[in-house]
Structure 1
Amino acid sequence: MFTKRRVLGAVAAAAGVLLLATMASPAGAQTPDRGTPTRGVYTVPAGDAAARTVVAGSGVDVLGLREGALTIVATPEQARSLRARGFTLDQVGDFDAMLAERSGGAGTSAVTADFPPGDEAYHTYAEMTQVLRRAAQSYPNLARTSSVGRSYEGRELPIIKISDNVAQDEAEPEVLFTCNQHAREHLTTEMCIRIVNRFTQGYATDPAIKQLVDTREIWVIPQVNPDGSEYDIAGGRYKGWRKNRQGYGTDPNRNWGYKWGCCGGSSGSPTSDTYRGTAPFSAPETRAVSNFVNSRVVGGTQQIKAHIDFHTYSELVLWPYGYTYADTAPGLDQTQARRFQDVGRQMAATNNYRPQQSSDLYITDGSVNDWMWAQHKILSYTFEMYPRSASGIGGFYPPASVIPRETARNDRAVDILLRAAG
């Protein structure tokens, strides 16, 4: 399912396939780099959510959590500031050197529009759109592609609908899957591609898949942040890029409208990796996806009942709220919180992820899950995918060989959420 020829992008462009003419080379976009000095990778012991929130709120780039310690990327100034606040930082490497090593060294071509050598099985933006086009062409009664809008650099944000009567807007529960809000989390795009292929290719032979497709309307957005994703692999070298490409970049998952910038769970500094933007939905990508979700209110009722936003890494199933440590808060009562917990734990039991409220990791504000629930009462989760832990930047760049295993690992969890939407 995940093997592909490297000629796909060229074939797609030559054929003028869906979306690619406007997606491939947007003009006039300004894309400055972070503008930060040399950064180190550090481990920081932080045994509780409050301490982790302080670290994350300092503007550093949090890579993951490992055995009670956060792995972060920090400038010298950020490192000094955290040490002054009483945190112990142990440097494990240089960020840029680690990226160069993971990319295969300094000899990578500067004109390669693809993943570094050995990781070609990951899908570029052009290849991802080709997958969606092929699904719609091969299964015209089940799959239909469209766009929810454009990215900052002008790329279309493709979405695919999967349903047994795909051309009709049926009175069936809808479920949305989104991937790749954060640019460097390429395994998530593969997760969304897995969902598309599984529910189209398996429809005729798998009764369980047929039953779900016949009774649900499934929406999949494989790349919410295509500009950032393409930038992260430009030249065939990983850059560790997280944000979109708007100015110094906005963190899409701190730009959603509910409790935006409220609670120390994002940064107001444009150079921070958790920069929340100038205003809620100031990033065109989050604005486009939120407008699509808003459009699914039909006759006063939100048709989308459940949602997963896939991320990497740490192997977690997370649910709202992220902006507060409290299990319940305005708009989320005890019964509703218990439902989040029950469904989250059921899903985690199938993939061996750890289930927890988002804020148990650290406080975040302006996140997609909080907005989905508060605005629309959508049962919304974040999955942090493989690996469970890593010593540095490599956690975001697992070898392509793990794609089939780590995406199939979530099949049963996806099915549980689809059934829960009913």
Structure 2
Amino acid sequence: MIKQILLTFLMSCFLFQAQAANLAEVGFFVNDTNRSFLKTIHAQGKFIVDHPSSKGYEVYGPKGLKKWLTANSPVSFRSLSNSIDKRNSLLSYPSPEQIESRLIALQKKYPKILKLISIGKTETGRDLWVMKISDNVNVDEVEPEFKYVANMHGDEIVGRELMVSLIDELASKYSKNDQEITTLVNNTEIFIMPSLNPDGAAKRRRGNSNWRDLNRDFPDVERDARAFDFTENTTANRELETVAMMEFQNRRHFALSANFHGGTEVVNYPWDTKSSDFPYMNLVIDLSREYAASIPSMRDNREFIDGIVNGYDWYEINGGMQDWSYHWHNDLQVTIELSHSKWPSYSQVPGYYKKNRASLIKYMQRVHQGFGFKLDSPKKGRVTIKNFRGNSFQLLESLDFEGSEFYKVLAPGKYLIELESGSKKYSFEKEIRADDIKENGAFKSIQL
């Protein structure tokens, strides 16, 4: 009994610490050019650091943050609160309700390929909308699944606008039989979420209606204080938006994703929370570099070589969506920072879309750079992936699978795929090529 009480007490302490660590009620820019104060900030365990650069970094936390910085910071800092001019710029952006109306209008205009899905609601009752784009939009097809998510930080608005524009273009060009778009849509299940945090967008603030930072609210891949054993993929004690995304992801089989932010221009690739190499480091670097390459302002950003950066090398994030997505769901995800200004003049949005458009399309096409299989019935088992190096197949990764559908994005090359479920085994070789959109992903049918 005493042991159980002690365990409950310890869990309560860890939970309190975890919840405090993603609270973003106020924010400041700290002019710490050599990052000498970062270690002290991290040691508090309750502040959020974002966008370190040669000029300094952002720090978010509870309302007592200003008092703490005043007492402890060896360098100057300034508030990130909205100025009068910035507040006025709120009026130029559509409200969450106007975005919702536009999405509904697009679905009505293109009902054959667009399906608007609410995956949950926010604390204030706003729907969390995802647009499915597919040639058979009301059918769950066996095809590679792709996902874009934007605006999880409410004050980082450019991604939301770009996603609505992308949905519009995909549907419009499909209706006009554009070959590139038609080929992509006919052979892929695409899901686009313009805003994971409409409550934050409505108030132009980083956190949701509870002031929580959603990109610190997902299960951490190393040590999650909300989980009983610190490694469980649990929805307990998380924000409604986080739970909605977790449950949505659990119902799907996403193989490639990206989430959009603002504050600089760079493609951030995993891991965010640990220094160890990502299992497919060369692949994720190539995908990131390809996205940045066609955007001069991103590619030539003086802060980042080639416009890309490893998340942990930049700054550690615990509880981020990017790492969670791959660690528990085999969904390779990068984080794309679209603009130096988090909330630029609305008149600049078309320019951001124009310079990102080619990269947005190309990144979606890359989901076909992989292999998939479809089993005759749902099963639990293990997939072992080996790639051909030198003169033999070498182990690359071994991972669990559950269900009847599996898909994996890989770098170009020759692979040996080995399946095992109970006493049954199956193996096959696969050649992966770039720039090859296969019919419905060319899933291999297997009786196991």
CA distance in 1, matches of 2:295, 2:236: 33
Structure ID, larger Rg: 2
Deviations 1:187-226 (A, max 9, x none): 1210211221121112225321121111111101111111
Note the C-alpha offset of 1:231: 2.5
Contact 1:56 1:362 in 2 (8 A): no
2:32 alignment partner, SS class: strand
One-letter code aligned to 2:76: D
Give 1:80 deviation, angstroms: 3.9
Question: Partners of 1:360 and 1:219 in 2: how far apart?
Answer: 30
Alpha-carbon spacing, 1:405–1:81, altered in 2? closer, same or farther (3 Å): same
Distance between the aligned counterparts of 1:253 and 1:321, measured in 2? 14
Could you tell me how far apart the structure 1 residues matched to 2:163 and 2:223 are?
29
Instruction: Judge conservation of contact 2:161–2:349 (CA < 8 Å) in 1.
Output: yes
Q: Determine the C-alpha separation between the residues in 2 that align with 1:35 and 1:159.
A: 25
Alignment partner of 1:256 out of 214, 218, 222 = 218
Which residue of 1 is the match for residue 239 of structure 2? Answer: 283
State the Cα deviation string for residues 99-118 of structure 1 (Å, max 9, x = none): 223224xxxxxxxxxx634x
Alpha carbons 1:373, 1:379 under 8 Å: kept: yes
- Structure 2: any 5+ residue segments left out of the alignment? 1-22, 226-233, 299-306, 369-448
2:330 matched residue in structure 1: 377
TM-score (norm 2): 0.66
CA distance in 1, matches of 2:119, 2:345: 31
337-346 or 366-375: which moved more? 337-346
Gap change, CA 1:262 and 1:295, over 3 Å in 2? closer
Q: Matched residue of 1:169: which SS? A: coil
Q: CA deviation at 1:281?
A: 5.8
Q: Aligned match of 1:368 in 321, 324, 334?
A: 321
Match for 1:101: what amino acid? D
Match of 1:391 in 2: none
Q: Is the 8 A contact 1:319 1:381 kept in 2?
A: yes
- Post-superposition shift, 1:89? 1.9
Equivalence for 2:261: 311
Q: Map 1:87-98 to 2 at 5 A.
A: 88-91=74-77, 93-96=78-81
Q: 1:90 to 1:377 in 2, by over 3 A?
A: same
Map Cα deviations across residues 41-78 of structure 1 (whole Å, 9 max, x no partner): 43221459xx7565466555646344353244684433
Asked if the contact 2:124–2:209 (Cα under 8 Å) also holds between the matched residues in 1, the reply is yes
Deviation at 1:165, TM superposition (A): 1.7
Partner of 1:112: none
Distance 2:268 2:323 in 1: 11
- Conserved? CA contact 1:161–1:218, under 8 Å: yes
SS at match of 1:409: helix
Q: CA 1:171–1:379 in 2, change beyond 3 Å: closer, same or farther?
A: same
Matched, 1:140 2:124: no
* % same residue: 22
1:69 corresponds to 2:41:
no
- Whether the 8 Å contact between 1:79 and 1:89 is mirrored in structure 2 is no
Q: 1:52 to 1:320 in 2, by over 3 A?
A: farther
Question: Aligned equivalents of 1:358 and 1:289: distance in 2?
Answer: 21
Q: 5+ unaligned residues in a row in structure 1: which ranges?
A: 1-33, 105-114, 233-240, 264-277, 297-301, 388-394
CA deviation after TM superposition for structure 1 residue 173, in Å: 0.7
CA distance change for structure 1 residues 182 and 260 in 2, over 3 Å: closer, same or farther? farther
Q: Which amino acid aligns with 2:212?
A: T
Residue equivalent to 2:206: 242
Residue 135 of structure 1 and its aligned partner are, at CA, apart by: 1.2
Quickly say closer, same or farther: Cα 1:63–1:367, change in 2 above 3 A: closer
Aligned with residue 116 of structure 1, among 71, 82, 90? 90
- Cα distance in 2, alignment partners of residues 73 and 254 from structure 1: 12
Query: Counting strand residues as a fraction of each chain, which structure ranks higher?
Result: 2
Q: 2-side partners of 1:376 and 1:281: how far apart?
A: 20
Q: Runs (4+) of structure 1 moved beyond 3 Å?
A: 34-37, 39-42, 51-66, 71-76, 93-96, 260-263, 278-281
Between the two proteins, the alignment pairs up a number of residues equal to 324
Distance in 2 of aligned mates of 1:61 and 1:257:
16
1:254, 1:366 within 8 Å by CA — same for their partners in 2?
Answer: yes
Match of 1:42 among 18, 30, 52: 30
CA distance in 2, matches of 1:260, 1:291: 21
Highest RCO, 1 vs 2 (Cα 8 Å, sep ≥ 6): 1
Residues 359 and 81 (structure 1 numbering): CA distance in 2 closer, same or farther, change over 3 Å?
Answer: farther
Residue 297 of structure 2 corresponds to residue 322 of structure 1? no
Residue identity opposite 1:77 in structure 2: K
Call closer, same or farther: CA 1:340–1:54 in 2, change over 3 Å: farther
Q: What is the SS of the residue equivalent to 1:197?
A: helix
- The partner residue of 1:293 within 249, 253, 274 is 249
What SS does the aligned partner of 2:250 have?
A: helix
Alignment RMSD: 2.7
Q: Cα 1:54–1:338, aligned 2, differ >3 Å: closer, same or farther?
A: farther
Deviations 1:216-274 (A, max 9, x none): 11101111111222123xxxxxxxx211113xx221111111337659xxxxxxxxxxx
Measured against aligned partners, the alpha-carbon deviations of 1:151-197 in whole angstroms (never above 9, x if no partner) come to: 12221111111111212211111111111111111112102112211
Aligned match for 2:351, one of 375, 392, 405: 405
Residue 365 of structure 2 is aligned to residue 419 of structure 1? yes
TM-score w.r.t. length of structure 1: 0.70
CA distance in 2, matches of 1:402, 1:47: 32
Equivalent residues of 1:65, 1:314 under 8 A apart: no
